[in-house]
Structure 1
Amino acid sequence: MKTIKNIAAVLVLSTVSFTSFAQSVTATGTTLDSAEAKIAAQAQQAGASYKITEANTNNVVHMTAELIK
């Protein structure tokens, strides 16, 4: 049974295109808007959309996003 599950997992993973995985990007700024603008510029340069996955505000804003093609 375990072998069948492993074979099924390998078949599913082998059909997934490795180029479709999201790329992670980061940016910093003084406001949330400035950090998001930097993320948006990186996404536009890559020809992709983006999804913000993390934002942290201490003295500056640090934001992480995934680029989705």
Structure 2
Amino acid sequence: MSHAVYEDMLMKITSLLFAAALAAQADAASSLPPPPVLPYGGPLRPVGTVSASGVRTLDDLVAALADKAHRRGAIAWRVNAASSGNRLYGSAIIYQ
């Protein structure tokens, strides 16, 4: 086989790989779910913070922060700090 045949095969394989990557990227972007519908109108405003400590796992810390945020009437919350030693500590900003 000549050098030109190898170049032609390489070009075809490169084009095929590029097309496959482009198709995979387009499929990944189109399969994202729509954003959730929120039960309020207007922008969120921060109204305070909650904190939790003494838990062993990150999941437990997130659950404790969520529980405290919901008890304070928060519509949303965002963890802004987490630290660990033997036990975890964290805080979250709450929004209404």
Query: TM exceeds 0.5?
Result: yes
Residue aligning to 2:14: none
Q: 2:80 touches 2:91 (CA, 8 Å); kept in 1?
A: yes
Is 1:53–2:85 an aligned residue pair? Answer: no
Structure 1, unaligned stretches of length 5 or more? Answer: 1-19
Residue aligning to 2:50: 25
Is 1:41–2:67 an aligned residue pair? Answer: yes
Structure 2, unaligned stretches of length 5 or more? Answer: 1-44
User: Could you say what the CA RMSD is over the residues aligned between the two structures, in angstroms?
Assistant: 1.2
How many aligned positions are there?
50
Q: Distance in 1 between matches of 2:64 and 2:48?
A: 15
User: Secondary structure at 1:42's aligned position in 2?
Assistant: helix
Q: 2:52 touches 2:65 (CA, 8 Å); kept in 1?
A: yes
User: Secondary structure at 1:56's aligned position in 2?
Assistant: strand
Q: 2:46 touches 2:93 (CA, 8 Å); kept in 1?
A: no
Q: Distance in 1 between matches of 2:85 and 2:56?
A: 10
Q: Distance in 1 between matches of 2:56 and 2:47?
A: 26
Q: Please report how far the alpha carbon of residue 22 of structure 1 lies from its aligned counterpart in structure 2 after TM superposition.
A: 2.6
- TM-score, length basis structure 1: 0.64
Q: Please report how far the alpha carbon of residue 37 of structure 1 lies from its aligned counterpart in structure 2 after TM superposition.
A: 0.4
Indicate the structure (1 or 2) with the bigger Cα radius of gyration: 2
Is 1:62–2:89 an aligned residue pair? Answer: yes
- TM-score, length basis structure 2: 0.48
Percent identical across equivalent pairs? 26
Greater strand share, structure number:
1
The one-letter code matched in structure 2 to 1:62 is Y
